């Protein structure tokens, strides 16, 4: 996890960052603008105001269909990914920060509509880089994802969840968390790094916490339809 700090650092933030440095929670090699941001700024979504902003986003995200996760000490993990997912769908800069443009868009946005009008399935939107969990033709949740960085490595078409592993699967390409395979070796799985652009070898990355939710919710058991499209 990488922490990017903006603005002045109050003492409580310095203490938090020092704890993270000691536990090696921050890794410079995963830096991208807005990935994990800590800032004492209400217009960001972090620092001492994280609870306030989470409370602000929760009813809006629920209304629009975005999965927020559970706020952690930085706020900036799963909830920031929900913000990125919203920014992707809305055509905004993908920085994970609730700034003026994102706030304005949140106020006027509509419910995310899936392409499917019936059934239960997972829609993988390769263009917008989001996964839409569909229940009875309606959006149940929208998750931030990162798919294959090379064109065609994440297949398009209609598939089904063929098998799954309730744990880690290590292969030459990485360590996949609770993968749900839908085409040969391609799976939806949890991963520590989910940047706001295609970065995988072909699988569909989401956060580990989002993957836990996907399992716990019962939204994608073996046999669930999967539709990947551009």
Residue 16 in 3-state DSSP? helix
DSSP assignment of 40-52: S-TTTT-GGGHHH
Rounded Cα–Cα distance for residues 153 and 156 (Å): 9
Residue-wise pLDDT for 104-156, tens only, equals: 898 899 989 999 999 999 999 999 999 999 999 999 999 999 999 999 999 99
In this prediction, residues 11-35 reach a mean pLDDT of 50
Paired tokens of 110: 């509509």
DSSP assignment of 170-207: EETTEEEEEEEEEETTEEEEE-S---SS--BSSSEEE-
Residue 118 in 3-state DSSP? coil
What is the topology classification, in CATH, of domain 121-229? L,D-transpeptidase catalytic domain-like (2.40.440)
User: Shortest CA distance to 66 belongs to which of 125, 130, 1, 137?
Assistant: 130
Task: Please report where in the chains the tokens 């830096």 appear, as a residue.
Answer: 31
Residue-wise pLDDT for 174-227, tens only, equals: 899 999 999 999 999 999 889 999 999 999 999 999 999 999 999 999 999 999
Backbone dihedral angles phi then psi of residue 78, each to the nearest 5 degrees: -70, -35
CATH 1.10.101.10, the chain: domain bounds: 4-108
Predicted pLDDT of residue 54? 64
Backbone dihedral angles phi then psi of residue 125, each to the nearest 5 degrees: -90, 100
Q: Are strands 174-183 and 163-164 parallel, antiparallel or unpaired?
A: antiparallel
Q: What is the CATH number of domain 4-108?
A: 1.10.101.10
Task: Please report where in the chains the tokens 């990355």 appear, as a residue.
Answer: 205
75 has a pLDDT exceeding 70: no
CATH 2.40.440.10, the chain: domain bounds: 121-229
* Entry pTM: 0.78
Q: Backbone dihedral region of 224: left (phi > 0), alpha (psi from -120 to 50 degrees) or beta?
A: beta
63 has a pLDDT exceeding 70: yes
Paired tokens of 193: 């790094």
What torsion, rounded to 10 degrees, do the Cα atoms 53, 55, 60, 64 define? 100
């Amino acid at each position: 996890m990488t922490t990017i700090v903006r603005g002045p650092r109050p003492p409580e933030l310095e203490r938090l960052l020092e704890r993270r440095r000691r536990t090696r929670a921050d890794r410079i090699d995963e830096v991208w603008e807005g990935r994990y941001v800590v800032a004492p700024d209400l217009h960001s979504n972090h620092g001492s105001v994280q609870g306030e902003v989470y409370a602000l986003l929760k009813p809006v995200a629920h209304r629009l269909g975005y999965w927020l996760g559970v706020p952690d000490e930085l706020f900036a993990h799963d909830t920031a990914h929900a913000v990125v997912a919203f920014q992707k769908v809305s055509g905004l800069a993908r920085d994970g920060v609730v700034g003026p443009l994102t706030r304005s868009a949140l106020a006027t946005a509509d419910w995310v509509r899936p392409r499917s009008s019936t059934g239960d399935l997972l829609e993988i939107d390769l263009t917008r880089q989001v996964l839409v969990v569909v229940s009875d033709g309606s959006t149940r949740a929208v998750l931030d994802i990162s798919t294959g960085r090379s064109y065609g490595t994440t297949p398009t078409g209609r598939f089904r969840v063929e098998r799954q592993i309730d744990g880690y699967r290590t292969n030459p390409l990485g360590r996949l968390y609770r993968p749900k395979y839908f085409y040969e070796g391609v799976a939806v799985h949890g991963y520590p790094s989910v940047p706001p652009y295609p970065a995988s070898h072909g699988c569909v990355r989401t956060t580990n916490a989002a993957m836990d939710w996907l399992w716990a919710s019962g939204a994608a058991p073996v046999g669930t339809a999967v539709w990947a499209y551009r």
